[in-house]
Amino acid sequence: MEAKLKKLLSQAKEEVKEIKDSQILADLKNKYLGRKGDLAVLLKDIKNVATEERPVIGQIANEVKKELTHIFNKLEHSINQDGASDLDFDPTMPGVKREIGHLHPNTRVQAEIEKAFAQMGFVVFDGPELESEYYNFTALNIPEDHPARDTQDTFWLEDNNVLRTHTSNLQVRMLEKYGAPFRGIFPGRAFRNESTDASHDHTFYQLEGLLVDKNINIGHLIAVMKSLLSTVFQAEVTVRLRPGFFPFVEPGFEMDIKCLVCEGLGCPVCKQSGWVELMPCGLVHPKVLENGGVNSQEYSGFAFGLGLTRLVMMKYKINDIRLLQSGDLRFLRQF
Ligand code: DAH
pLDDT (tens, 9 = 90+) of the chain, 335 residues, equals 888 888 888 888 888 887 888 888 888 888 888 888 888 888 888 888 888 888 888 888 888 888 888 888 888 887 777 655 556 677 888 888 888 899 999 999 999 999 999 999 999 999 999 999 999 999 999 988 888 777 778 888 888 899 999 999 999 999 999 999 999 999 999 999 888 898 889 999 999 999 999 999 988 998 898 788 888 778 777 888 899 999 999 999 998 888 877 888 999 878 899 998 878 999 999 999 999 999 999 999 999 999 899 889 988 989 999 999 999 999 999 99
105-332, CATH topology level: BirA Bifunctional Protein; domain 2 (3.30.930)
**pLDDT tens digits, 255-271:** 888 887 788 899 987 88
Give the distance, in angstroms, between the CA of residue 104 and the centroid of all CA atoms in the same chain. 7
Query: Among the atoms of ligand 1, which is closest to the Cα of residue 190?
Result: 4
The pLDDT of residue 33 = 87
Instruction: Reduce the DSSP state of residue 147 to 3 states and report it.
Output: helix
Type of residue found at 250:
E
The pLDDT of residue 85 = 52
Q: Checking phi first, is residue 293 left (phi over 0); if not, alpha (psi -120 to 50) or beta?
A: left
Beta carbon of 282 within 6 Å of any ligand 1 atom: yes
Beta carbon of 305 within 6 Å of any ligand 1 atom: yes
The pLDDT of residue 4 = 85
Domain ranges of the chain: 2-86, 105-332
The pLDDT of residue 106 = 95
The pLDDT of residue 82 = 65
Distance from Cα 270 to the centre of ligand 1, integer Å: 19
Residue 79 CB: number of other CB atoms within 10 A? 18
Q: Are 313 and 321 in contact (CB under 8 A)?
A: yes
Q: Which residues of 20-50 are buried (b: 16+ CB within 10 A; e: fewer)?
A: eeeeebeebbeebbeeebbbeebbeeeeeee
Distance from Cα 133 to the centre of ligand 1, integer Å: 16
Rounded CA-CA distance 80/102 in Å is 39
Beta carbon of 201 within 6 Å of any ligand 1 atom: no
This prediction has a pTM of 0.68
**pLDDT tens digits, 177-190:** 999 999 999 999 99
Q: Which of 142, 166, 194 to mutate to test the pocket of ligand 1 (most atoms within 8 A of CB)?
A: 166
DSSP assignments along 157-176, one per residue: -GGGEEE-SSGGGHHHHHHH
The pLDDT of residue 61 = 84
The pLDDT of residue 90 = 77
Could you give the C-alpha distances from 295 to 46, 125, 212, 250, 292, in angstroms and in order? 111, 22, 11, 16, 9
Report the nearest-CA residue for atom 8 of ligand 1.
305
Query: Among the atoms of ligand 1, which is closest to the Cα of residue 165?
Result: 4
Largest CA distance in the chain: 121
Residue 283 CB: number of other CB atoms within 10 A? 19
